[in-house]
Chain A
Amino acid sequence: AQTVTQSQPEMSVQEAETVTLSCTYDTSESDYYLFWYKQPPSRQMILVIRQEAYKQQNATENRFSVNFQKAAKSFSLKISDSQLGDAAMYFCAYRGTSGTYKYIFGTGTRLKVLA
């Protein structure tokens, strides 16, 4: 069975600095998708970034980028120029390419942004 591990329950970053959130996963599948979702306090989860496993190039969305290491099964999220609005719970998720396409989530990392 697939698993996702986020080893950092909480992280802090100074405004305008860069922070990296870690995520590792385990799977025997060769093709899959990885996601980072952000959940601000009392608000719904929104997709931050998505990575297809067959793509070697790391995904980037503005200030958000990933470091996808397929062999190491690692999928970290880097947030550059951190802003107060980045404060949220961040969830790493895995989705296979067969079956129901359900997500498998990690336990989440709470990111605090310090002014």
Chain B
Amino acid sequence: EAGVTQFPSHSVIEKGQTVTLRCDPISGHDNLYWYRRVMGKEIKFLLHFVKESKQDESGMPNNRFLAERTGGTYSTLKVQPAELEDSGVYFCASSQDFYEQYFGPGTRLTVT
């Protein structure tokens, strides 16, 4: 069984540019979560999808962040325009039930 995959693994962009991160959850997992870790700090929740619906987006920093989940399959997280403080590692996780979340390897975003 394939795990959660994320693309790209690393992205370096300039302030003001746009970046789109992608997450492919484990097949059949209805729940998809996005988290972010800023260097040296805790991993923080961003939002939660159940299938294609946003269940909780209370962790989204501001309206420069837009998350979508097409047809309840893969998800994208777009940052537009990117700011320096958006740098960090973005993790995606999926779960079939609410028991355990399976994490992807993360996308390291560097905004210069």
Interface size on B, residues (CB 8 A): 25
Interface size classification for chain A: 20 to 34
Known A4-B42, A107-B40, A107-B42: A44·B100 in contact at CB below 8 Å: no
A105–B33 Cα distance when bound, in Å, is 14
Identify A100's interface contact among B35, B40, B56, B104, CB under 8 A.
B56
A65–B98 Cα distance when bound, in Å, is 23
Chain B 45-75 interface mask (CB, 8 Å, partner A; 1/0): 1001000000110010000000000000000
Residues from chain B with Cβ under 8 Å of A19 in the complex = none
* Contact assessment for B3 and A44 in the assembled complex, using a CB-CB cutoff below 8 Å: yes
* Contact assessment for B45 and A104 in the assembled complex, using a CB-CB cutoff below 8 Å: yes
Residues from chain A with Cβ under 8 Å of B25 in the complex = none
Binding site for A on B (CB under 8 A): 3-4, 31, 33, 35, 40-45, 48, 55-56, 59, 91, 93, 95, 98, 100-101, 103-106
What 6 A-B pairs come out closest when comparing CB atoms? A105-B43, A100-B56, A45-B103, A44-B105, A101-B98, A102-B45
